[in-house]
Structure 1
Amino acid sequence: MTHIADTDAPPARLYLASASPRRRELLTQIGLAHEVLLVPAPPGEDEPQHDGESASDYVRRTARDKALRGRDWMRAQALAELPLLAADTTVILDGAVLGKPADREDAMRILRALSGSVHEVHTAVAVCAAGEQLLEAVSITQVHMRELSDDEIGRYCDSGEPFGKAGAYGIQGLAGTFISHISGSYTGVMGLPLFETSNLLRSAGIRIP
C-alpha cells in the first residue's frame, strides 16, 4: 500500500510522508485533511551526522531527504499532485544526537543519560510545494527533565512508550510527568511544531482553518 486515506474524511489537501501517529494527530488537530504516504525507506536512512554537521543541519537534511523522496514516490505512483510534508525529530544532549532506542537496554541507557538534564529537541519540517519548490523550517526546544530513579525508568520502559521515539520518551504520554519545564514548542517536542508547520503550509498555498 502506498498511501492511507480515510474514506469518511474530506478530500486530502496534502500528503504526510510519515508513519508517525502523533504527526497525523497534530495535523488533524488543526483541521488539515491529509493522506499518509508510506514511502519505502532506503538502507541507511538514519545515517549519523556528517563530520562538522550541526544538529540543526542534520535534522534539516534528514527531513529534506524524506520530503524529496516522498515527492519522487508520489510522482512514480502517479498520485494526485498535492503539497507533501515530511519531518524529522532528534534529541540532543551535550552535542550528541540521541535517536530512537534499538531495544529496552538502549532505552534505559538513553533515559539514564537524560535524567536530570537540560537537553534540546530539534524538529525539522520540509514541505514540497508547487513545481520543485521546497520550504523548510527547524524548531529547537529546551527540555528540562527531572531526576529519574532506575525503578521509574524500568517501569516506563515496560510501558512500551519509549520505543519508536527520539530520545526514548513521549512528552504527550507518561513521560509528561518527567518534564518540569520547556522553552520552545511543545508540539515540536511531539514531532511536528504547529507554528512553523502552519507558516510553511500557508506559503505553499494551503489555507489553515
Structure 2
Amino acid sequence: MTLWLGKAPLMLASQSKARQALLADAGIEFESDPADIDERAIQASSGLSAPGDIAGLLAREKSRTVSDRRPGRYVVGADQTLTLGSRIFNKPAGRAQAADQLRALSGHCHELHAAVAVVRDGRLMFEHVSFARMTVRRLGDAEIDNYLEKAGDAVTSSVGAYQLEGLGIHLFERIEGDHFTILGLPLLELLAFLRSEHLLGI
C-alpha cells in the first residue's frame, strides 16, 4: 500500500539496498537511478574536510546529476561518511582492506554523518545532515576473519565494512544516534519535507 501522492514516483539517486528498503517500508513509491559520480574526485576537488560537509556535497551532487536527466521529478540523493578522529574512511576495495578498517575501528568510537538532499529540475529544495556515534567492541583477528567470512561480499558495499541491519550488529558495544542515520538516510527529516510538499498521504 503506497502513501505516495506524487504524479510520478520519487526518484532515488542510489543503488543502496538499505536506502531502497527504508523507502519501500515507509510506503513510498520510488524508482532508483544511481548517479554514478566520481565521489572521490569531487571530494578531493572541493577542498572540504569536515565529514558532514563532504556528505552534504555528495548528496547534492548525486541528486543534481540525476535531476538533469529526470525533469519534473523529485530526486533524492544521499551520502554517508565515516570518521575516526581525523581519518575519513571509504568503502573497502576488498576483504583485506575491510579487515584493516575493522582493526582500526576495534575498541574505538567513530562517527557516521549521513546527508540527504532533494533536487527538482536542478533546484535544491531540501537538505539535511545528521550524525551518530558508534563504538566497536574490541575485536581479535580471529573474530574479524570469522565476521568477514560470514558476511561475504556485503562488507565492500558499505563504509566501515559493516551493515548494522545484518551481521554487522555483532561488532558493536554501544550505539548513539538515529537508526536511519546509521543506515545512510535521515528518513524522519526527509518524510517531513515530503509532507510539506503534500506528497504523502499521512
Q: TM-score range by the shorter chain?
A: 0.7 to 0.9
1:162 CA drift (Å): 1.1
> Contact (CA 8 Å) 1:138, 1:196: kept in 2 or not?
no
Which residue number in structure 2 is paired with residue 6 of structure 1? Answer: none
Letter of the structure 2 residue corresponding to residue 91 of structure 1? L
Gaps in structure 2 of 5+ consecutive residues = 1-5
Matched residue SS, 2:77: strand
Does the 8 Å contact 2:102/2:160 carry over to 1?
yes
Matches within 5 A, 1:1-209: 12-39=8-35, 41-42=36-37, 44-47=38-41, 48-49=43-44, 50-51=46-47, 53-75=49-71, 81-129=72-120, 132-158=123-149, 159-160=151-152, 161-207=154-200, 209=202
Contact 2:64 2:122 in 1 (8 A): no
Deviation, 1:73, is 2.0
Q: 1:11 to 1:52 in 2, by over 3 A?
A: closer
Instruction: Please state how far the C-alpha of 1:21 moved relative to its aligned partner.
Output: 0.7
**Residues in 2 aligned to 1:57 and 1:173: alpha-carbon distance in whole angstroms:** 28
In 2: Cα distance, 1:12 partner to 1:165 partner:
29
TM-score of the superposition, structure 2-length normalised?
Answer: 0.87
More moved, 104-113 vs 49-58: 49-58
Report the AA paired with residue 26 of structure 2.
Answer: I
* Partner Cα separation in structure 1 for residue 142 and residue 8 of structure 2: 45
Aligned length: 193
Q: After TM superposition, where is structure 1 displaced by more than 6 Å over at least 4 residues in a row?
A: none
Structure 1 gaps, min length 5:
1-9, 76-80
